[in-house]
């Protein structure tokens, strides 16, 4: 009995993709496990960035051709999005510039969004009315309510995004991580369905 378990999204480290690059293989017979893991499934052209949709049925077909007596059971994804990116030497300068650019976009974009929201709902007028209601007189600038609002906004963002000063507040995934995983799942599902409709996925007998 051979058990397979793999994730839907896979990044291949080499152009030649083997079973062990796609799934975790478990078998009591070490020789059959080794043989299964080293079966070639597909190969990408050298020097190109590409993706391929591969069905687990194709893996089962390859395994049973090599080991006819094997019974294969899949415990993971049924279709895999295998991606390959040609090796590129990373420049620390370019990486640093990208980080700075993203930080600037996030800072000014977030600041603009907050200011636009405050103007839209007339936050200054609201603070002034609250101050008159509570203290009976107009507030001096900056008001205590405005200062509390500014501090609370920062603290609220840190707590909501579960990240501050380079550390997570707890072990739960951040909302951004959750949304990125949902987006990745949606993209993979769309790619798999498109490949199936066009007959471009690597399936049994292909």
- Crossing angle for the helix pair 123-135 and 144-161, to the nearest 10 degrees: 120
**Distance between CA atoms of 164 and 46, rounded to whole angstroms?**
42
104's tokens: 């600037």
Quick check: helix, strand or coil at residue 167?
strand
Percentage of the residues of the chain whose pLDDT score is greater than 90: 41
Band (pLDDT 50/70/90 cuts) for residue 20 is very high
Residue 55: which H helix or E strand, with range?
Answer: strand 50-55
Band (pLDDT 50/70/90 cuts) for residue 190 is very high
Instruction: Report the relative pairing of strands 40-43 and 16-18 from DSSP bridges.
Output: antiparallel
Domains of the chain: 2-88 (2.60.480.10), 118-193 (no CATH)
Residue 131 has a pLDDT of: 76
């Amino acid at each position: 009995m051979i058990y397979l378990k793999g994730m839907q999204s896979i990044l291949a480290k080499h152009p030649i993709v083997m079973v062990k690059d796609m799934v975790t293989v478990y078998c009591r017979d070490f020789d059959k496990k080794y043989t299964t893991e080293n079966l070639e499934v597909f190969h990408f052209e050298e020097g190109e960035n590409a993706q391929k949709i591969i069905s687990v049925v194709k893996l089962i077909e390859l395994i049973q051709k090599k080991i006819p007596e094997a019974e294969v059971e899949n415990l993971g994804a049924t279709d895999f999005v295998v991606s390959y990116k040609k090796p590129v030497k990373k420049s620390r300068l370019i990486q640093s510039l990208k980080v700075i650019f993203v930080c600037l976009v996030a800072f000014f974009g977030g600041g603009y969004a907050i200011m636009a929201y405050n103007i839209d709902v007339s936050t200054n007028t609201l603070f002034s009315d609250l101050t008159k209601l509570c203290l009976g007189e107009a507030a001096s600038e900056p008001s205590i309510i405005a200062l509390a609002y500014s501090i609370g906004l920062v603290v609220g963002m840190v707590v909501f995004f579960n990240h501050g000063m380079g550390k997570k507040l707890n072990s739960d995934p951040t909302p951004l991580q959750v949304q990125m995983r949902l987006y990745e799942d949606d993209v993979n599902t769309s790619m798999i369905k498109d490949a199936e409709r066009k007959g471009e996925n690597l399936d049994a007998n292909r």
